[in-house]
Structure 1
Amino acid sequence: MRSIKVFHGTTEIAGQMGILSSALINKGHYSLGYNTFHSYLDYKDNLVNLDHETLKGTYEEILDSFDLFHFHYATTLCHDYSDLPELTRRNKKMIMHHWGNDVRFHDQARKNNPYVYTGDSPPNEVIHERLMKITPYIREAIVQDYEVYEYVKDYYEKVHVLPIAIDLKHFQPNYPSATKEKPLILHAPTNPDFKGTYFIEKSIEKLKEEYSFEYKRIEKMSHEEVINIYKDADIIIDQVLCGSYGLLSVESMALGKPVLTFIRPDLVSTFPSKIPIVNSNPDNLFQQVKKLLDNPVQRKELGMKGRQYVDKFHANDVVVNQLIDIYLNL
């Protein structure tokens, strides 16, 4: 199979442009991410971090240099999507990768989820308008799971479900010790409203009346710093409102930690295997954490199962084979 030159852009979400590029390079392809969205997470791998003006200046060069354009988060090379007719004219292959907040229609999200927070998503009409500009030119999309799938399935000819990818060489498992006197509970909200931090900390306060443990809330740190702190955790609480799991849950499982996240009941069966996540929402979170505090052996067992799950479904060398199949059939 001939080598493909893949452009990723223009919004780096959860390090995925860099991780997928790295995996594609390992398979003998050329891949690079151009990122115009900058945050304290400070992703750098296989990325050109630039602003919109600089991107505009390299527009022609980018069009000439790549065969396949893998766009992310409903963004393309131009704010108004005026690059799409030109890419079509040049017979470039294109695919759009939606990540959640870019397409989470507010009313639709609430239909199956009483807890969901959609304050990070644009108004419904803006989401619809963007999709209507994208889909005449880009006919296929990628999503990470069936929570996101539902929002875009009627707009595209085909929507592929591709799990979040993770580079396991950066994650050595450090399973919780069954004999630790004072367990450490961690929560790292990029957005406290979206993650349900209020409900999490309410449960933590209540648990402190009965148990001796340490609680840390981690914010505004680079991705690298955060991973170093996770290593010592005994329990990680991720997001209890969204209804599916994201990168933090995957990274926590990779580190061998038990993870608490809310998975919508109607979505549980859509994942490739039984997920070793402790399914927790604002109504049962107190009880779910309590069970883990009472049972250190279970914490370790869940950590081990989580690592196995990630090895099997989220390792970048597993995910990239599925991605290349998608590319070849575009």
Structure 2
Amino acid sequence: MLKILYISPENTVGTLSYWKKAHELNGNHCRFVTFYRTMSGYNEDILLNLPFIASRPWYIGFRRWMVRKTEGRESHANLEGFPPVWNPPQWQRYLWRLRERFWKPKISRAIREYDLEDFDVYHFEWGLDFFRNAEFAKKMKSKGKKIICHYHGQDLRNRGVIPEMDAISDLNLTNELDLTYMHPNLNYLFLPYDVLAFDVKQSIGDPLTICHATTNRIIKGSDLIIKTCRELEKSHGIKFVLVENQPHEKVIEIKRHSDIFIDHVGELTWGYGMNSLESLSMGIASATYLNDIYEKFIPDHPFINIRPDNIKDVLVRYIEDPELIMQKGKEGRKWVEKYHDYRNVVRKLYEYYREIGIDI
């Protein structure tokens, strides 16, 4: 039996809960530690409740302002480098060290209370240790433990790798295809989800409903989506539902009543994420932007591919053909179960484990 620990700022889109289920289903022991409670209400395991960090709008807004004022760039702008490297001004490093002084007593207590040094494999989500100098990861590495860094998007695109972590990582993972073009040693893994937890939609609503959920309007291209769907409300009598910064349970309930779900449009991010996995699992036709590279990577995908220059025309085609919507929904459920159900994704993870010498 392996003992596997995930360390992450938050249980982003509930992924850590699925990894825990997957490992335990295979007879292994798994825990996950999070720095702060997720705003969307996903389950927690070992919650540290650390201060001066959050995914709430006030904190994100402050970070954007700080990057704009001190580095002369937008926080969502991609960094250069292969890989991009975290290299902030010295005064920012001082702020991180100061924050970590407040954190250290809580972290040290959790390490003792939960025997966090007694695991075999350590997954560092976002490529982050508890500390920016990677002192905990370095200590585990010195004891012969396996170190895995898992990148999810903005961490690598807009922050860059933490050099101390990158230097000791035995395996780098991502669920974002574009990131594999930003790091010389990054392995792709489909995002895990509990697909079988949902029933498949059986009919089109009256009126036909299009839904879009967002926590970041810039990344998702939400303003264009909203504008387009408001126009379609007037021209085609559809109902448009915008879900923004809501608890996860409420988001799921709203999605259940939609007929088409729009993930994102635009080129700041390439493909799809947990939002799409949820809608596909429900048998809901799902629209997103896939560039040519992504289309070749998943040629059998079920997505309605939309771009800024064709989003309205594509949606009209489906609005005027409800049978096509139902067909896309059924195709989506079969596809997402094959590639994304956590019971299947964990097999690929274990292949990667074996490649770095983990006996499983």
Task: State if a TM-score over 0.5 links the two structures.
Answer: yes
| Equivalent residues in 2 for 1:138-287, closer than 5 Å | 138-152=169-183, 154=184, 156=185, 159-177=186-204, 180-241=205-266, 242-271=269-298, 273-287=299-313
- Residue 6 of structure 1 aligns to a residue whose secondary structure is strand
Which residue of 76, 90, 96 maps to 2:149? Answer: 96
* Alpha-carbon offset, residue 244 of structure 1: 0.9
| 8 A contact 1:59–1:77 mirrored in 2 | no
| 8 A contact 1:176–1:299 mirrored in 2 | no
* Alpha-carbon offset, residue 51 of structure 1: 2.5
* Alpha-carbon offset, residue 323 of structure 1: 1.2
In structure 2, what residue type is equivalent to 1:57? R
Deviations 1:308-327 (A, max 9, x none): 00111001100011112222
- Residue 103 of structure 1 aligns to a residue whose secondary structure is helix
| 8 A contact 1:18–1:32 mirrored in 2 | no
2:118 matches 1:65? yes
TM-score, scaled to structure 2: 0.79
Q: 1:29: which partner in 2? A: 28
| 8 A contact 2:128–2:165 mirrored in 1 | no
* Alpha-carbon offset, residue 160 of structure 1: 1.9
| 8 A contact 2:117–2:140 mirrored in 1 | no
Deviations 1:121-153 (A, max 9, x none): 33xxxx15x1x221211132011142121122x
- Residue 200 of structure 2 aligns to a residue whose secondary structure is coil
| 8 A contact 1:239–1:261 mirrored in 2 | yes
User: Residues of 2 paired with 1:202 and 1:269: CA distance?
Assistant: 30
In structure 2, what residue type is equivalent to 1:234? D
- Relative to its length, the structure with more helix (as a share) is 2
Q: 2:326: which partner in 1? A: 300
- Residue 135 of structure 1 aligns to a residue whose secondary structure is helix
CA RMSD of aligned residues (A): 1.6
* Pair 211,65 (structure 1): closer, same or farther in 2 beyond 3 Å: same
Q: 1:56: which partner in 2? A: 108
In structure 2, what residue type is equivalent to 1:264? N
User: How many residues get paired?
Assistant: 298
Deviations 1:243-298 (A, max 9, x none): 21111111110110111100111221112x41110111211111111111111000
Q: Structure 1 runs of 4+ off > 6 angstroms?
A: none
User: Residues of 1 paired with 2:317 and 2:305: CA distance?
Assistant: 12
* Alpha-carbon offset, residue 173 of structure 1: 1.6
User: Residues of 1 paired with 2:12 and 2:297: CA distance?
Assistant: 23
User: Residues of 2 paired with 1:137 and 1:43: CA distance?
Assistant: 30
* Alpha-carbon offset, residue 170 of structure 1: 2.5
Q: 1:115: which partner in 2? A: none
| 8 A contact 1:176–1:257 mirrored in 2 | no
* Pair 139,67 (structure 1): closer, same or farther in 2 beyond 3 Å: closer
In structure 2, what residue type is equivalent to 1:93? K
* Pair 103,203 (structure 1): closer, same or farther in 2 beyond 3 Å: same
- Residue 236 of structure 2 aligns to a residue whose secondary structure is coil
User: Residues of 2 paired with 1:62 and 1:72: CA distance?
Assistant: 19
| 8 A contact 1:235–1:299 mirrored in 2 | yes
User: Residues of 1 paired with 2:126 and 2:280: CA distance?
Assistant: 25
User: Residues of 1 paired with 2:202 and 2:126: CA distance?
Assistant: 34
| 8 A contact 1:175–1:255 mirrored in 2 | no
In structure 2, what residue type is equivalent to 1:65? D
Q: Which runs of 5+ in 1 are unaligned?
A: 105-120
| 8 A contact 1:175–1:304 mirrored in 2 | no
Q: Which runs of 5+ in 2 are unaligned?
A: 51-102
TM-score, scaled to structure 1: 0.86
Counting aligned pairs with the same residue, the percent is 22
* Alpha-carbon offset, residue 94 of structure 1: 1.2
